[in-house]
Structure 1
Amino acid sequence: LQVRVENTLAPYPNVLLLLPSADMDESAAILKSRLTKMLHEAGQAFTNELFALNEYLLRHPSNRQLAKRIVYTKDKTPEEICAEIIRQLP
């Protein structure tokens, strides 16, 4: 499956991975905090199972293997992230 996805994405130069930080532990903590806040504001329940799934997806190696570029978002506004992505476009 990995090879099929790699082949499918090969012609596309702008396969981006957005992460809070290069440090996976820090990224996991930031994403857990954001998810907790989002669910709380929406009046939704959250479980450790949800956080475990999110962390599994965060740490799965295919994300880094498939990405052509990684953009780190910690302490950046959406506008700053957008500007950084635009600067990196070929």
Structure 2
Amino acid sequence: MKECLTKVFGLGSVTSFYYLDETAAFVQFNKEELVSDFLALKETLEKAIDVILVVHPLARLLEGGKTRAAPYEVHKEICSSSPSRILFAK
């Protein structure tokens, strides 16, 4: 996953990458605008039905339409919720 992201956004684009479990990862980009770029590209690629999907580095990551992503504000809301504080404390 990290390799796919760095192919698209550059070698230094991902500052932190953590697998949360076998189905989820936390990715921190080095610039805020890369988050917006990723979210826009994700939306574009999920709607595309052409040859770009075959050759684009993110195509495999996004196949099946089950990849979810959100900006930092959503992450911050989730982590500050009561259930998350309890889960993260364990």
Question: TM-score, normalization: structure 2?
Answer: 0.29
Where relative contact order (Cα < 8 A, 6+ residues apart) is larger, the structure is: 1
Question: TM-score, normalization: structure 1?
Answer: 0.29
